[in-house]
């Protein structure tokens, strides 16, 4: 018997198109979080609903995913509507439901990309080569963490209880790739952008329930550039700017090892106390 040729990410983001245009999918145990699916996987599924649409134009440049309610283990339905298609851009409104209740909403912007002037105005963080760093031990973490090989250069673990607040900072720097390796594309990049633990966990030496409420990703590479990148790990850096009133923001950059900034991503995260 041959091995399953489908990578777990492709299996978990697979959608079946109904005659009415709506899409059917299902949660996948490989990407389970503590409760429901890992948010990055849900973001990838929402994006895939537009990516696989027969009228899709160009490559994604922006994706916003709002985690409106819990996603139960099992089947779900997605509707992806091209709200407006222009000559070189296309705007999508995407909704995930279970039993008629909205679980996730999203918008995506696609564009026909072409060469222009280019520049990078931020600096790739310094980090040792990925293969010189130990792989993150995901033994006591939810299943989705085992679908990634993470190698932290900085900020890899939760703060020790008792550490003074002012000794901590929310920044982490980490090499990440799909496990097993899978060529980079928009689906995997959308999910990778949410693999950073909520900054409250890193920043504050005390456990509190936390979860992403809204996630926005900007893609700075086109499909050809991602395909050429192949299965190499990407370097992620994540940090927060403000914690308070039950929520904090966090921002991430995803860099290629060649110094190309592939994506920037922002989210707002709930925390209990």
Q: Which two tokens stand for residue 181?
A: 């390796």
Q: Does 132 bind a copy of itself (CB under 8 A)?
A: no
CA–CA separation, 176 and 144 (whole Å): 13
Q: Does 116 bind a copy of itself (CB under 8 A)?
A: yes
Of 11, 73, 120, 132, the one binding a copy of itself by CB under 8 A: 120
Q: How far is the CB of 168 from a copy of itself (least distance, A)?
A: 9
What is residue 101's three-state secondary structure?
Answer: strand
CA–CA separation, 174 and 190 (whole Å): 16
Q: How far is the CB of 183 from a copy of itself (least distance, A)?
A: 20
The arrangement of strands across the sheet holding 148-154 comes to 16-17, 23-26, 75-85, 89-98, 101-111, 59-67, 210-219, 261-271, 247-255, 234-239, 172-178, 148-154
Q: Does 122 bind a copy of itself (CB under 8 A)?
A: yes
Q: Nearest Cα to 65, choosing from 212, 198, 197? A: 212
CA–CA separation, 237 and 255 (whole Å): 8
User: What mask of x and - would describe binding to a copy of itself in positions 144 to 173, judged by CB under 8 A?
Assistant: ---------------------x---xx---
Footprint on this chain of a copy of itself (rule: CB under 8 A): 61-62, 64, 66, 68-69, 83-84, 86, 89, 91, 93, 95, 101-103, 105-107, 109, 111, 113-122, 165, 169-170, 199, 203-204, 213-214, 216, 218, 220-222, 239-247, 249, 251, 253, 261, 264, 266, 268, 270-273
């Amino acid at each position: 018997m041959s091995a399953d040729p489908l990578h777990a990410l492709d299996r978990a983001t697979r959608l079946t198109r109904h005659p009415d245009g709506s899409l059917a999918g299902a949660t996948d145990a490989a990407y389970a979080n503590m409760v429901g699916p890992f948010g990055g996987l849900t973001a990838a599924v929402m994006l895939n609903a537009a990516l696989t649409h027969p009228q899709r134009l160009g490559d994604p440049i922006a994706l916003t995913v709002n985690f409106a309610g819990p996603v139960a283990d099992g089947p779900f339905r997605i509707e992806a509507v091209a709200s407006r298609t222009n000559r070189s851009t296309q705007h999508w409104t995407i909704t995930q439901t279970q039993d008629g209740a909205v679980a996730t909403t999203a918008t995506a912007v696609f564009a026909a990309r072409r060469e222009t002037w280019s520049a990078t105005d931020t600096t790739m963080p310094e980090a040792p080569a990925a293969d010189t760093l130990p792989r993150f031990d995901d033994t006591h973490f939810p299943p989705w963490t085992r679908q990634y090989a993470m190698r932290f250069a900085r900020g890899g673990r939760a703060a020790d209880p008792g550490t003074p607040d002012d000794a901590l900072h929310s920044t982490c720097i980490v090499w990440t790739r799909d496990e097993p390796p899978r060529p980079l594309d928009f689906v995997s990049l959308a999910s990778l952008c949410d693999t950073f633990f909520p900054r409250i966990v890193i920043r504050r030496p005390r456990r509190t329930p936390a979860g992403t409420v809204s996630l926005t990703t900007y893609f700075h590479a086109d499909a050809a550039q991602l395909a050429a990148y192949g299965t190499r790990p990407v370097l992620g850096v994540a940090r927060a700017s403000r914690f308070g009133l039950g929520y904090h923001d966090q921002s991430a950059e995803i860099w290629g090892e060649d110094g190309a900034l592939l994506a920037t991503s922002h989210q707002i995260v709930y925390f209990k106390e």
